[in-house]
Amino acid sequence: MAISRWTAAPARAASPRRRGAVLERAILDAALEQLSTVGWNALTMEGVAAGAQTGKAAVYRRWPSKEDLVAGALQAGLPRFEEAPDLGGVREDLLALCRQARDAMYSRPGLALRAVIHECDPAQAARFHGVIFDGVVEPVVKLLREVITRGIERGEVRPDADNGYVLDAIPAMMMYRSKVCGSEWSDAEVEEMIDLLVLPLLRPGGA
């Protein structure tokens, strides 16, 4: 009996099905990608599902609404501000911290957050105030306080500089210049802000 020379091609291995944390991470990454490219208004649950290469039922099962999904993506993706720079001087510490904050603002999660802030209506934006405060504002202010406290201990900073007005100055200026003036905060702009605005507020005698 003749032996056939034809053999079947080996079956292509099926892609492993993603589950649990791996699938959730893919969905959250896809949500951040859509936010940073098409913005809040154009983001859809279907588009996120397509970007994550999953079905939209898998998205809705975990996040019942667009607002829930975006809040989860921001909470998971925003950079962590965990340790204040300690470079030996208040100016160097402030520069390092401000550059870290600047880099976070222009990271993919940061761009996604800005899309939410710029495009949401007031009712929708209220959903994200806690995410913004807990994930960005409060950690940055906490590290600023550490930098200023060390400066006070070294005699570089006046003792009464550890107050809410001074601590708000840097985040407020960076957000205002970024949102209203379109500043991208180059290293030179960060240095100017520290030298012309912040250090005069901190120095003994205000000079």
Query: What's the rounded mean pLDDT across residues 148-167?
Result: 93
Q: 53-92: per-residue pLDDT in tens?
A: 999 999 999 999 999 999 999 888 888 888 999 999 999 9
Q: In the chain, where are the structural domains located? A: 20-67, 90-206
Is domain 20-67 annotated with CATH 1.10.10.60? yes
Q: Which contacts (CB < 8 Å, 24+ apart) does range 171-180 have?
A: 171/101, 171/137, 171/140, 171/141, 173/197, 174/98, 174/101, 174/102, 174/105, 178/105, 178/114, 179/114, 179/117, 179/118
User: Which pLDDT belongs to residue 206?
Assistant: 53
pTM over 0.85: no
pLDDT for the residue 205: 66
Protein fold of 90-206: Tetracycline Repressor; domain 2 (1.10.357)
